[in-house]
Amino acid sequence: MREQIIFRADNNYRDFDNYITKTKANKILLVCGNSISYLRINNYFKELEERPGIEIFRFSEFEPNPSYESVVKGVNLFKNTGCDLIIAAGGGSAMDVAKCIKLFAHMDDGQNYLKQEIVPNNIRLFAIPTTAGTGSEATRYAVIYYNGEKQSVSDYSCIPEAIVMDASVLETLPVYQKKATMLDALCHALESFWSVNSTPESRDYSKEAIGLILDNARAYLINDETGNANMLKASYIAGKAINITQTTAGHAMCYKLTTMYGLAHGHACALCVAKLWPFMLNNIDKCIDPRGQQYLREMFEQLAGLMNCKTGIEAAEYYQNFVNELGLEIPTVNSQADYAVLKDSVNPTRMKNNPVELTGEDIDKLYHEILR
């Protein structure tokens, strides 16, 4: 896999601008949310499109949980305008849409793209993350929704070639979104650390991301420049961790909570991990990690040490308190029928990545603990 190129936002994005010039791209598809109009990077794109020979086509017709239909619109715009470069500027949704546009652009538009085999292509994709949470700029994954159901799209060729790290984009982010995206990054790092797919490399990434998040949370939430920059870095590094390991039960359980109760993704994930973690500690005997129960115990002890805690239970409590202090809502269940819907929504593939086996009964019990 090609090493990604990281650009800073110094000198009005000069180094990034020079890189774009070297690509000789003259028609750029900019996949972005409407909030880009409030960011400094928007002025750069306005200046760029005023240059002779450069056209920028903006695509913002997608939802926070983007639908397949909106991706198709983006693919059609890319093909009809003859674009030769895609730039994603936004949070996870913009990144996911841009990745899918890249992957689908050379497929047969007479068939459902999701039912076709992905064939890697050489369309260039750059990323400018405007939240510190998804880590999508570092991963091979994209999530979209078809007929209301989550669809995972994955291929190494959709990992962005170049990334702009611009901490100023976080200054205008609503406080709730700052909290939720920070928690998403933290859950990525935690789940990657305990995943059955973890490696020494992925655990190193997780360790660095966890330290950056916990050390910079307060500064980040008050919009300190250094805190914002470090959180953006933490999100990227946590993304590199899950690119190796994938996520586990915390993420598998959170998606339906997001859509049913209108929660931000990171918010829902944090609530799930808060109940999952102590469950795993109390059920080591259900270990399905091929490295065994002793490895699992030692891993949780190492994770506790990363959080300056003496035991796994103390670390899980520390995490729960960290989430509680953010003051995020715990949703109230609409009806008892919701529990069955939630349980049936869980992706079994992600459950296989979890080091402790969860039965349907376990999942149902956890959802009862998560919701009021």
Average pLDDT over residues 220-226: 97
For the chain, what percent of residues have pLDDT higher than 90? 93
Residue 239 scores a pLDDT above 90: yes
Chain-centroid distance of CA 182 in Å reads 10
For the chain, what percent of residues have pLDDT higher than 70? 99
Q: Render pLDDT for 115-130 as a digit per residue (tens, 0 to 9).
A: 999 999 999 999 999 9
Q: Render pLDDT for 305-355 as a digit per residue (tens, 0 to 9).
A: 999 999 999 999 999 999 999 999 999 999 999 999 999 999 888 799 999
Q: Render pLDDT for 69-90 as a digit per residue (tens, 0 to 9).
A: 999 999 999 999 999 999 999 9
SS3 335: coil
Residue 110 scores a pLDDT above 60: yes
pLDDT at 87: 98
- What the block records as the tokens of 297 is 């115990």
Q: Is 41 exposed, middle or buried (0-12, 13-18, 19+ CB in 10 A)?
A: buried
Residue 67 scores a pLDDT above 70: yes
pLDDT at 259: 87
pLDDT at 1: 54
Residue 200 scores a pLDDT above 80: yes
Mean pLDDT over the full length of the chain = 95
Q: Render pLDDT for 256-280 as a digit per residue (tens, 0 to 9).
A: 999 899 999 999 999 999 999 999 9
65 pLDDT tier (thresholds 50, 70, 90): confident
Q: Render pLDDT for 3-36 as a digit per residue (tens, 0 to 9).
A: 799 999 988 899 999 999 999 999 999 999 988 9
pLDDT at 148: 84
Q: What secondary structure does DSSP assign to 273-324, as a single string?
A: HHHHHHHHHTTGGGB--TTHHHHHHHHHHHHHHHTT-SSHHHHHHHHHHHHH
2 pLDDT tier (thresholds 50, 70, 90): low
Average pLDDT over residues 163-185: 96
b/e sequence 260-295, b meaning 16+ C-beta within 10 Å: bbebbbbbbbbbbbbbbbbbbbeeeebbebeeeeee
Average pLDDT over residues 198-217: 98
In a 13 Å sphere around the CA of 43, the CA atoms on its Cβ side amount to 9
pLDDT at 10: 85
- What the block records as the tokens of 264 is 């931000």
